[in-house]
Each structure stands twice: as C-alpha cells, then as structure tokens.
Amino acid sequence: MTGNYPALLVTVPLLAAFVIYGCSWLHKRSCLFMALLGLTIPFAISVALLKKVLINGHISYHLGGWDPPWGIAYELDPINAIVLVAVTTVALVNLIATSKEIETRFSDRRGAFYALYLLFVVGLLGIVATGDLFNLYVLLEIASITGYSLIAMGDPARAPLSSLNYVFMGTIGACFYLLGVGYIYIMTGSLNMADVHALLPPLYHSSAIVVAFIFCLVGVMIKMGFFPLHSWLPNAYTYVPSPAASLIAPLMTKVMAYVMIRLMISVFSPKFVFSSIAASNAVVWLACLAIVMGALMALAQRDVRRMLTYIIVSEIGYIVGGAWIGNATAMSGAVLHIINDVLMTFCVFLSLGAIARSTKGYQIENFSGLFKKIPVTMATFVVSGLSIIGIPPTCGFFSKWYLILGAIEGGHYGFIVVLLLSSLINIILFFRIFEEAFFVYPKTNAVHTEGEASIAIAETPFVTLIPLVLTAILLIFTGIYSGSLIALIIKPVVSAGLL
Amino acid sequence: METIHSIRPLLAILASLFAIPLIVGFSRRPAMREFWTFAAAGSKFLIIVSMLPLVLTGRRVTCTIFEIIPGVPLQLTVDTLGLLFALVSSSLWILTSIYSVGYMRGLGEHSQTRYFCFFAVALSATIGVAFSANLLTLYIFYEILSLATYPLVTHHQDEEARSSGRRYLAYILGSSIGLFLPAMLISYHLAGTLTFSASGFLGASISRKVLMILLIMFVFGAAKAAVMPLHAWLPAAMVAPTPVSALLHAVAVVKVGVFVIIRIITGVFGVNLLKSLSLTTPVIVLACITILCGSLIALSQDNLKRLLAYSTISQLSYIVLGVSLLSQRGLTGAFIHIPMHAFGKITLFFCAGAIFVATGKKNISEMKGLGRQMPITMAAFFIASLSIIGLPPCGGFLSKWNLVLGSIEAHRPLVLVVLLVSSLLNAGYFMPVVYKAFFFKTESAVAGVKEAPLCCLIPLCLTAIFSIIFLFYPQPFYELISHALKCIIGAGV
C-alpha cells in the first residue's frame, strides 16, 4: 500500500471527481463530503510522501510496473514533495473555507464544480510528480481545461469571455510545450526526464535542442503568466468565482514556475541553460521588467482583485529572475518563493473572498470601515499583505532575502534594485487599502465615544475564519522556519544540480 | 566573557505580548484592561531588572531561539548597553501607562483597547531591538515596531492623521527597506555573519569605499534616528495622542533609531576599524547639521508638540554625534544621553499633554500666564527643559559635559562649538515658554483652568524629579556604561 502512494496521490482525487459527478444526480448533499474525502486522502499521502522522501531520499515510482524509459515514472525529490504538500494543503483548506459559499452559489451545479475542482487538483499533482515529459503535457491540459471551466463559471457577463481568452493563450502555450517535447523526442528518442537528461549532453550544441528548450520554456512561460505573456491572467483571475480564485490563483502559475525550474535542472542541465545558451542575463532583465511592469500596472488598478492579479505577474518575475541568475542561493530563493507565494497568494485571495461577503464590490472604496466591521478577517488580509511586501517575520521577507543575496553573489544589481523597488510599491498598494479600511468611516460613526456600537461587528463565519486565521499564522511560521526549509529540503536538491 | 543561557530575555519581550489577549478580552471593562497593561509593564520591568546583577558581574545572558538563516540565528543577547536601553524604556512604560489612563480618559478618546494593544506590541519590539544579538533579529523587531506604531500615530483616524501616517510610513519603511535591508544583505555577503561583536564583524579586508557607503546606508536606513534629511516624519507623527508622542517619539521609537546606529558603529564596524580609517567624519558632519538645524527650526515653532519634536531631532543627533566621535568620553556622553534625554523629554511631552487635557491648548502663544493656573506642570516643564539644555541641577548636564569632553578628546574643536551653540539655541526656544507662563498676565481663555487629573500629574512629577536625582546619583548608569565601554574599546586595543 505505502509503496503505491505516488499513484494513489493522483488516482484517488481522479476517481473521487467522477464519483462526485455521478453522485450529484442521486444525492446532492453528499458531494461536499466526498470532495473533502477526495482531498483529505491525497493530503495525507503527500505528507507521508514528504516524510518518506526526507528519510529515504529520492523515490522513483513506475506506473503499472512498466520500467522507464518505456513506462511512465513518477519522480519525487524533496522539492516536489513539498510542492505537492503545498498543493494538497491549499486545495483542502480552500475547500473547507469556501464550502459554504460553493454550496449556496452553485447549489444546482455543485456536482460539476466539485468534480472540476478535484480534476484541477489531479492535474496539478500529476504535473508536479511526473517524471515524463509527455505525461506532463497531458496533465497540464487536464489542469488547464478544468481551470478554463472553473473560470467560466464566474460572473456570467465577463467570465466566459476572459475564459475564452485564456483558452486561446493557454492552448498556444500548450502547443509550444508539445512542439518542444516533440523536438526532444526526435533528437533523443525518449520522453522520460531522467533518460533525456542523460542522453542530452552530447546534443547540447544541436540547434534543434536549443529550439526545443526555447519552445518548452515559452510554453511554460505563457502558462505561468510571465510578462509580456501574461495578458490572459488579469481578466481570468478577476472574474473567476471566488472559491475557485483562491484555488487557481495561488497554484496554477506557481506550479508552472516549478515546471520551469524542473526543466532547467532535471531535463536540461544548469550547464546547458547557463553556459550553452547564454540567455541568462537577458531573462533576468526580462524578469526585472516583469516585476516593474506588474507593480506599475497593479498601481493603476482601483479594483483590489485586479490589483492582486498584477501582483502575481510581478511575483512570477521574482521566481523567474531568481531561477535564471544561476547560482544556488538565488535558485533556493526562487524555490522558496514558489512555496511562500503559494501560501501568501492563497491567504490574500481567501481573505478577499471572505471580505467580499461584507462589501458591495472589490473597489478600494468598498473597503471603508472594514477594520471595525470584520477585524479578524482584515487582520489576515494585513498579514498576507505584509508578507507580499516582505516585512519580517512573514515568509515573503525570507524568500526576498535569498533572492537579493543571490543577486548580490551573481553581481546582478539591476535585479536587487527592482526587488527593493517592488517592495516599496507593494507598500503603497497595500497601505492604500489599509488606509481606506482604517480611516474612512461612515458618517454615523463620527462621535468619539467609548464602545462605538455604530458599526456592528459582523465577522466572517467560523468555517471560513478558522482556516483563514490558520493560514495567516502559517505565513509567519513558514517565515520563521524558512531556514530549516532551505537547509533540509531546498539546498540538497538545488546544490546537487547547481554549481 | 561568561555567557549564561536563559529564556529571561525572551520572557521580557513576550511579557507585553501575553497581555494582549487579556487586554482585548477585557475591552468592555476599562479598569481590568488597564490593570493588565500595568501587569505587563510591571512584569516586563521586573524581568529586565532581574538580569541586572548578572550583567553587572560581567556576564552575558543569551537566548538562541533557532537558526533562521544559515549562520544567523534568531538570537537575543543581553549586554550592558542593551540593558541600559531596556531599563529606560520599560520603566518609562509604567509611568506612561499611568499617564495614558489619565490622558485617554480625560479626553474621552475612542478605541482605547486598540491603543493599549499596539502600545504593548511596540514595547515588545523595543525590548527586542535592545536585546538583539545580530543584525537580522534587530531588523525584524525594528520593522515590527514600525508597523505597530502606525495605528498609534494615526489614532485619531482623521484626514490629518492619514497624511501624517503616510509620511511616517514613507520615511520609516522606505528607508529601512530601501537602504537598511540592502546594506544588511551586502554585509552578510561580505562577512558571512551578522552577529554583533565588540570588534565588529566587517573586517579590514573590505575596501574603504565600500565601508563608507555601507555606513552611510545604515545611518540613513535607521530613519527612526531622524538624522537630517530623513527627519520629517517625526514632526508629522505629533498628530498622535500625547502619551504616544511621549513614550514612542521621545523614548522608544527614536531611541531605537539611535540605538541601531550605536550597534552599527560599535557592533558591526567596530570602533577601532572606524577610527583607523576615520570613516565617521561624514556622520559627524550630518549630526552637527541636524543638531543646529533642528534647534533653529524649533525656535520658530508655535505648536508646543512640534517644538518638542524638532528639539528631539536635534537631541537625537547628540547621541549619534557622541558615538561617531569614537572617543571614550564621547561614547560615555552618548550612552548617558539615552536615559537623560528620555526622562527630560518625556516630562516635557507629559506637560504638553497635561496642558492639552486641562485647557485644550496646543500653541505656546495661548499659554501665557499658565504658570499660575498650573504651577506644578509648568515647574516640571522648567526642570525638564533645564535638563535638555544641559544645565545643572539636572541630569542632562552630565551628558553634555561628557560630550564636550569627548569632542576635545577627539580633537574636533568645531564640534565643541556646535554643542555650545546648540545649548544656547535650546535655551532660546525653551525659556520663552517658561517665561511666558510665569511672568505674563493670565489670558482670559485660560483663567479658570486647574491642574490636569492626578493620573497625568503624578508621572510628570516623577520623571522631573528623576531628572534631578540623576545628576546626583548617576552611578548605576556609569557602572553600566563603563562595562559597555570595556567591551567596545577594550576589545581591539
């Protein structure tokens, strides 16, 4: 049983998705329970796998007993094990926290929603765990198509169009990736990552391999919304229904960023990426541009959700820049930032979803007086905001620390300046909202008296509030324990591949 | 030096954090809520005092929480200097709490629970800075303090508070993220460690140019020290309720700023390295400019709290100046100025607040003849201003005396001139206030006014009395400082 964990990780939610959809015809009430079950089991498995990987090291699981390079293998190292844990945690916690909203909002379509939700998670888990290039493409399409559908379930006026836009861009991205994989297959005759990694070195100077790498990279970059290929992202993430927003926004882009790092380290090699094609400087400068443009465009938004989507564009720039600086410190920072950014984006979107209960919209003006009305929910929003700014001891500070340190080691001063600048802009972005929520009072509350009962506290229900508070606390704990995260999980993998 | 492992420094930090749930829980019963504030303040003070005998016998109390970044643990160390600062701020927190109760109730302020909570967080962070064993730990507490003070500064939640809050954040967070953080990262990259050591951890192998840039980045990065031109947040922060201005903007926050600079100079660079390369000259120049300009601007202020803010800006640079003189007397003067200025300035702020509670007046021009209505307050004001000017019979005389000697010792006659001119300027802006209060005819607007409530009056009398006592009984401070100097100067010689 324990030996089959990697397979069960993906198959349990996959089966659950179909069972739920069937079940929604018979007994609607049980859907939520089964969805919870279908995510709790992978969560437990991913934790067990992480533990196992940390004790025994690398796990290679051959699906159906077919040995690679013919069969599909799942490869687990500490980094993707922790990314798996992050994915399952976010999916499970988000489901619990938003269950109430899902049940009321999609009462007649809840079977479809839960099924898509679980399939999306299946796709992501597979992408992270797989050791096969083509299998990755298949799972990428599962995650993308379910993602498009979830987005299309949002606001009927705007969501379908933005989903369609995402479909176009996403398909182009997937095509690029598939073309790249095709080239690799033609040149090496293999699709297994480890096998390709071993076969490639003599072919590094072949222009077909360079093109293959660039195609794969472009495909992945479209999917992760790397500036200037991000145009699908803001609309898609703005109009997605909020229970899906806090699932898709933190996970999809970050998982794709992980795929990029995986391609750079385990399929190709750092030697190829940083020496054979001397593009690292150019990509880091592009990342700088992504960070600055993301921050500036976020500054131009009055809609908080839209602002956050541009912040994601900027954060993706952090990860890409860190990965391409090309030393172990910056790469560790990039990997740490993937995990941290999953958590903080999740926290910020989840709290925004909870806040939206008490506001009429997502405009900054709608936030006025919220610190009085929903103090605890706002506190979690503040914590996630501070983490995105990079204030210690929240986790965002520590990934920024390694990224800047790596940039100093690599002598990439432009990246340092841009990172600091983006922190400063983030201060403005978030304090604009905090100010609105703190200072602007409805007229009735002008009297300065002890007690002030004029704004009644109308806190978020506990089923949402408790996961939210726990996530906010987790942001601080991940920050404080980032040292062990780096030492135990990230450093061994990164330094084996780099320098 | 013997090192003792103990969780007492951690407890000292946590004492006020533990009180927060209790303060929130009793938000509907003000008496209980304030009781918990006092309990936190008292226990914090006692924990800090309990470490005094250990530290005075030449031992060091350390508490390593865990490794947060390779080679840089989250670590607390209590040395004499940190203890001196912690003692001053925690003892004054007790008095400020008493004063807060009187002031906030006297004015019927809103959201008092929030006020007391963030005050407790701010004090935790202050003690954290005092006890930090390395630059990263210090930075973490420094940022927590910046953010915990924001809701206190903007307590009134009106348009003025909003714009002042913006200015406050722009200066404090902007400088710490824009200058302090990169300087810290560059130091870590160069030295591989961030732990303070008596001879500094930035070795002489680093080029002079880099060291100079780092020093300037650190000094400006700690914008809480209000070295010009990064001082404008302090007058803006005066929109806060007076107890906040008193404790945070005369003692805790601004002293954290200068304390950081002290740590940078004595723990990061090391006095001997700076002396051998004579790197501190630009800092001395900046401090002198700040001293003179701060005093000059204070001369033209009519709002009493703004006057005090500019006076604080100039007085803080005394400390920066004293440290950067790098001589034994200069350092002594700088260190002793921490308690002396704290007690003097907090008295002045308490007086300003008491006047506001009793009369509602903020401007000096409206305080004519107030000395007859509020004799105790104005007498305390007079004593405290003598201390700030540096005249006997007040403690401020000692710091000025040492600073003047330090400037002679360091062969910098111009600094001596600056210090003396500044004393005259200090007298120039404080004495008219006292003079108007006692010798002008009482204005009709303040004719029927009585002293502020006892809760306001007692703390300000106590701090004024302490200001006098310190001149005649400065031994405890001198003992702590001589220990600190032994480490700082003795280490490399």
d(CA B17, CA B290): 35
- Closest partner residue to A449 (CB to CB) among B74, B110, B169 is B110
Sort out which chain A residues have CB atoms less than 8 A from B169's CB and list them.
Answer: 427, 431
The predicted pLDDT at position A449 comes to 44
Out of B67, B69, B108, name the one closest to residue A401 (CB).
B69
Q: Rounded CA gap, A231 and A269, in Å?
A: 30
Of B30, B68, B178, the CB nearest to A483: B68
Residues A480, B68: C-beta atoms closer than 8 Å:
yes
Q: Which residue has the tokens 């940390």?
A: A54
B137 Cβ under 8 Å from any chain A Cβ = no
Task: Supply the range of the domain harboring residue A376.
Answer: 279-499
Task: Label residues A458-473 b or e (16+ Cβ within 10 Å = b).
Answer: ebbeeebbebbbebbe
**pLDDT at residue A92, rounded to an integer:** 93
- Which class for A256: exposed (0-12), middle (13-18), buried (19 or more C-beta within 10 A)? buried
DSSP state of B1: -
Residue listed under structure tokens 């749930």: B21
User: Of how many residues is chain A composed?
Assistant: 499
Residue-level pLDDT, tens digit, chain B, 493 residues: 678 888 888 888 888 888 888 888 887 787 888 888 888 888 888 988 888 888 888 778 888 887 788 778 888 888 888 888 998 888 888 888 888 888 877 777 777 788 888 888 998 999 999 999 889 999 999 999 999 999 888 888 788 888 888 899 899 999 999 999 999 999 998 888 888 888 888 876 888 888 889 999 999 998 888 888 888 888 888 888 888 888 888 888 899 999 999 999 888 888 888 888 888 888 999 999 999 999 999 888 888 888 889 999 999 999 999 998 888 888 888 999 998 899 889 999 988 888 888 888 888 888 887 878 888 888 888 888 988 888 888 888 888 888 888 888 888 888 889 988 998 999 888 888 888 888 877 777 666 777 777 788 888 888 888 888 888 888 888 888 888 888 777 654 3
Packing angle between helix B80-107 and helix B112-131, nearest 10 degrees? 170
Residues of chain B positioned with their CB less than 8 A from the CB of A404: 181-182, 185
Beta-carbon separation of B70 and A480 below 8 A = no
Alpha-carbon separation of residue A86 from A42, A250, A403, B286 (angstroms): 11, 10, 21, 50
Q: Is the dihedral of CA A367, A370, A371, A375 positive or negative?
A: negative
Sequence-distant (≥ 6) Cβ neighbours of residue A16 within 8 angstroms: A34, A35, A37, A38, A39, A118
d(CA A333, CA A340): 10
Q: Which residue is closest to A395 within chain B, CA to CA?
A: B68
A484 and B74: CB-CB below 8 Å?
A: no
Q: Which residue of B has its CA nearest to A403?
A: B185
Mapping DSSP onto H, E and C, the string for B25-84 reads HCCCCHHHHHHHHHHHHHHHHHHHHHCHHHHHCCEEEEEEEEEEECCEEEEEEECHHHHH
As a whole number of angstroms, the distance between CA B153 and CA B251 comes to 15
Contact B117, B16 (CB under 8 A): no
Give B-chain residues touching A391 at CB under 8 angstroms: 143, 147
CB A151 within 8 A of CB A166: yes
The pLDDT value given to residue A106: 82
How many other C-beta atoms are found inside a 10 Å radius of the C-beta of residue B5?
10
Q: Do A404 and B185 touch (CB under 8 A)?
A: yes
Chain B nearest-CA distance from A439, in A, is: 5
Q: Which residues of B touch A408 (CB under 8 A)?
A: 185-186, 189
Asked if A480 lies within 8 A of B166 by C-beta distance, the reply is no
Q: Which residues of chain A are modeled with pLDDT < 50?
A: 442-453, 499
Q: Where are the domains of chain B?
A: 2-490
Listed in sequence order, the DSSP H helices in B300-453 are 304-325, 328-359, 370-373, 375-389, 396-409, 413-439
Reported as half-sphere exposure (CB side, CA atoms, 13 A), residue A298 has a value of 29
Q: How far apart are CA A189 and CA A363, in angstroms?
A: 53
User: 3-state DSSP helix/strand/coil percent for chain A, to nearest 5?
Assistant: 80, 5, 20
CA distance B123 to B13: 8
Q: What type of residue is B274?
A: L
Cα separation, B332 vs B190, in Å, equals 31
* Chain A residues touching B138 at Cβ < 8 A: none
Q: Which of B143, B145, B155, B169 to mutate to test the interface with A (most CBs of A within 10 A)?
A: B143
Q: Does residue A460 lie within any of the structural domains?
A: yes
Contact A420 B177 (CB under 8 A): yes
For residue A173, tell me if it sits in a domain: no
Q: How far apart are the first and last CA of chain A?
A: 38
| Residues 73-102 in B contacting A (C-alpha not used; CB under 8 Å) | 74
Residue A483 to residue B67, Cβ atoms within 8 A = yes
Distance CA A460, CA B131 (A): 39
Q: Is some CB atom of chain A closer than 8 A to the CB atom of B111?
A: yes
Please provide residue A414's backbone torsions phi and psi, each rounded to the nearest 5 degrees: -60, -40
Contact: A424, B177; criterion CB under 8 Å: yes
> Which residues of chain B neighbour A445 with C-beta distances below 8 Å?
none
- The reply to whether residue A427 touches residue B174, judged by beta carbons under 8 angstroms, is yes
The reply to whether ipTM tops 0.90 is no
Q: What's the structural domain count of chain A?
A: 1
- Using CB atoms, pick whichever of A401, A438, A450 lies closest to residue B112: A450
Cα gap B342→B348, rounded to integer Å: 10
Q: Do B177 and A408 touch (CB under 8 A)?
A: no
Q: What is the least distance, in Å, from the CA of A173 to any CA of chain B?
A: 37
Q: Which candidate from B144, B177, B185 shows the least CB-CB separation from A423?
A: B177
> CA torsion sign, A53 to A198 to A127 to A18?
negative
Neighbours of A54 (CB within 10 A): 14
Give the sign of the dihedral formed by CA A226, CA A228, CA A230, CA A234: positive
Give the pLDDT score at A1.
62
CA dihedral A417, B268, B79, B462 (to 10 degrees): -60
* DSSP bridge partners of B69: B72
Extended beta strands in B53-200, E state: 59-69, 72-78
- In a domain, residue A148? The reply is no
DSSP annotation of B177 reads I
B182:A450 CB<8 A: no
Distance CA A395, CA A107 (A): 37
Cβ–Cβ gap B69/A420 under 8 Å: no
pLDDT in tens, B402-436: 888 888 888 888 888 998 899 899 988 888 888 88
Name the phi and psi angles at B68, rounded to 5.
-105, -30
**What would the two tokens of residue A45 be?**
């498995």
Nearest CA in chain A to B189: A405
Task: Please indicate whether, in this complex, the C-beta atoms of B69 and A483 are within 8 angstroms of each other.
Answer: yes
